Amino acid sequence: MQATQTVNEKVQAAWNKRPLVISGPCSAETEEQVIETARRLAATGKVDMLRAGIWKPRTKPGMFEGVGAKGLPWLQQAKKLTGLPTTVEVATGKQVEDALTFDVDVLWIGARTTVNPFSVQEVADALRGVDVPVLIKNPINPDLELWSGAVERIARVGVKQIGLIHRGFSAYGNTEYRNAPMWHLAIEMKRRNPSIMIINDPSHICGRRDILMDVAQKAIDLDFDGLMIESHIDPDKAWSDAKQQVTPEALGEMISSIKWRKEDVPSDEFHSALEKLRQQINHLDDELMDLLGQRMKIAEKIGEYKKNNSVTILQTNRWNSILERAFAKGEKLGLSKEFITKYFDAVHMESINKQNRIMNS
Ligand code: PEP
Ligand code: MN
């Protein structure tokens, strides 16, 4: 592909808009469905870009695998009628070429592609010298290196405008979510890439429409740059991801009812109040670190006693009683069981490592 096209103003404006809202069906199914969805989404006035899956990577063969390239002119038509820039998932070099031939404005790499460096590289090679913005979904598995690797591969071929989509991570077993959000990973990715925009995809995190709003609000509270949410004119009859899609009107209402917060406000009073509270936090964090240091010193001493008396490091009863005490106290202090478990697991592991060093020295 030659660098023949540059990103047009309208697409650039949409890409730069905050919050950026992308919506459209999981899959393009028919020309009428794509155009009606686009019209109704545009009518809400809340949507900046139209998405649609043309090639669908499905978990099992025999599921609907997308209409393929014949759906691309439908998107072209939808853009012509509504003015909405379009975005499509690409997973191969050929799909990149087809999408660009039919003027798709923004490309996205899906979670099942980000996991595979061969595929990401193939997409990257097809993008060499092409000025098109690319969104990169997190890989299916919770691996930030893989996600970063995909970003690097796409950046290396000269793509300048890259964004991230957080769509949750696969976890074995039934949970509330289709894909566990693991917010801390998205936050860490954001911390590592401060100049790259990151939007949230509540649809693929939730897998069902009733909790979309909660996840969308949480993303906005965590200062995400926008949302990608699936919308279908007749959600229950959608050919893919039926349970998680909402009508364009419901999408519009959801976007309206989100409380949009800003990361900062230009008020001196606010800043000085915040600064004071942050100093208190710093002070308490210092104290906590000192206390943890003292706790580890005592654990080391216990290690010495255990060594001299040939006793094992781990004594399960003792550990259970520590946890029970902590849960009881934590409950009174309003600390969740989940937090207490994670915190004590980390403290306990550090203690064990320290004792292990002593007992084997
Ligand atoms: C999609 O956006 O429809 C899709 C297939 O998403 P993901 O790659 O996040 O599973
Ligand atoms: Mn989908």
Do 49 and 158 fall within a single domain? yes
Q: What's the pTM?
A: 0.87
Q: For ligand 1, say whether the CB of 51 is within 6 Å of any of its atoms.
A: no
pLDDT band, very low/low/confident/very high, at 122 (cuts 50, 70, 90): very high
Give how far Cα 114 sits from Cα of 49, 94, 165, 283, 331, Å.
Answer: 22, 17, 11, 41, 41
Residue in the structure block whose two tokens are 């349970």: 243
pLDDT at 314 over 90: no
Spacing, Cα 78 to ligand 2 middle (Å): 19
Do 86 and 123 fall within a single domain? yes
pLDDT at 292 over 80: yes
What is the domain count for the chain? 2
- Nearest CA owner, ligand 1 atom 4: 110
Let me know if residue 2 belongs to a domain: no
- Nearest CA owner, ligand 1 atom 1: 26
Alpha helices, DSSP H only, in the chain?
9-16, 31-44, 72-82, 93-101, 111-114, 117-126, 144-156, 183-192, 202-206, 212-221, 248-257, 268-308, 316-333, 337-359
Average pLDDT across the chain, whole number: 95
Ligand nearest to the CA of 112: 1
Do 204 and 344 fall within a single domain? no
Q: For ligand 1, say whether the CB of 165 is within 6 Å of any of its atoms.
A: no
pLDDT of 2 reads 42
272's CB contacts (< 8 A; 6+ apart) are: none
Do 221 and 330 fall within a single domain? no
pLDDT of 100 reads 98
Answer whether 151's CB lies under 8 Å from 164's CB: yes
Rounded Cα–Cα distance for residues 247 and 198 (Å)? 24
pLDDT band, very low/low/confident/very high, at 5 (cuts 50, 70, 90): low
Residue in the structure block whose two tokens are 């949750």: 168
Q: What percent of the chain has pLDDT over 90?
A: 89
Do 200 and 88 fall within a single domain? yes
Task: Tell me the average pLDDT across 290-309.
Answer: 93
Do 345 and 205 fall within a single domain? no
Alpha helices, DSSP H only, in 199-263?
202-206, 212-221, 248-257
Rounded Cα–Cα distance for residues 245 and 251 (Å)? 9
Nearest to 109 by CA among 100, 119, 118, 101: 119
Q: For ligand 1, say whether the CB of 26 is within 6 Å of any of its atoms.
A: yes
Answer whether 240's CB lies under 8 Å from 34's CB: no
Do 224 and 337 fall within a single domain? no
- Ligand 1 atom showing the smallest separation from residue 201 Cα: 9
Q: For ligand 1, say whether the CB of 111 is within 6 Å of any of its atoms.
A: yes
DSSP string computed for 142-171 = S-HHHHHHHHHHHHHTT---EEEEE--B--
117's CB contacts (< 8 A; 6+ apart) are: 146, 149, 150, 153
Answer whether 319's CB lies under 8 Å from 351's CB: no
CATH number where 279 lies: 1.20.59.10
pLDDT at 54 over 50: yes
Ligand nearest to the CA of 238: 2
71 vs 172: which has the higher pLDDT: 71
Last residue of a domain, one of 211, 232, 257: 257
Do 74 and 190 fall within a single domain? yes
Q: For ligand 1, say whether the CB of 137 is within 6 Å of any of its atoms.
A: yes
Q: For ligand 1, say whether the CB of 53 is within 6 Å of any of its atoms.
A: yes
Q: For ligand 1, say whether the CB of 198 is within 6 Å of any of its atoms.
A: no
254's CB contacts (< 8 A; 6+ apart) are: 212, 213, 216, 229, 246
Identify which of 204, 215, 228, 229 to mutate to test ligand 1's pocket (most ligand atoms within 8 A of the CB). 204
Render pLDDT for 56-81 as a digit per residue (tens, 0 to 9): 998 889 899 999 999 999 999 999 99
- Nearest CA owner, ligand 1 atom 9: 111
- Nearest CA owner, ligand 1 atom 2: 26
Do 198 and 59 fall within a single domain? yes
Helix (H) or strand (E) holding 229: strand 226-230
pLDDT of 309 reads 92
Q: For ligand 1, say whether the CB of 110 is within 6 Å of any of its atoms.
A: yes
Let me know if residue 4 belongs to a domain: no
Q: For ligand 1, say whether the CB of 167 is within 6 Å of any of its atoms.
A: yes
Q: For ligand 1, say whether the CB of 28 is within 6 Å of any of its atoms.
A: no
Owning domain of residue 85 = 9-257
Let me know if residue 180 belongs to a domain: yes
* Bridge partner residues of 164 (DSSP): 136, 198
Do 159 and 243 fall within a single domain? yes
pLDDT band, very low/low/confident/very high, at 4 (cuts 50, 70, 90): very low
* Bridge partner residues of 49 (DSSP): 22
Render pLDDT for 229-255 as a digit per residue (tens, 0 to 9): 999 999 999 999 999 999 999 999 999
SS3 category, 1: coil
Do 242 and 272 fall within a single domain? no
Render pLDDT for 20-32 as a digit per residue (tens, 0 to 9): 999 999 999 999 9
202 CB neighbour count, 10 Å cutoff: 28
Spacing, Cα 111 to ligand 1 middle (Å): 6
Ligand nearest to the CA of 87: 1
Render pLDDT for 8-22 as a digit per residue (tens, 0 to 9): 999 999 999 999 999
Ligand nearest to the CA of 57: 1
Nearest to 201 by CA among 20, 39, 12, 27: 20
Ligand nearest to the CA of 168: 1
Q: For ligand 1, say whether the CB of 204 is within 6 Å of any of its atoms.
A: yes
- Nearest CA owner, ligand 1 atom 3: 26
Least confident stretch, 31-35, 172-176, 273-277? 172-176
Nearest to 202 by CA among 169, 236, 168: 168
pLDDT at 3 over 80: no
pLDDT of 170 reads 95
Do 242 and 278 fall within a single domain? no
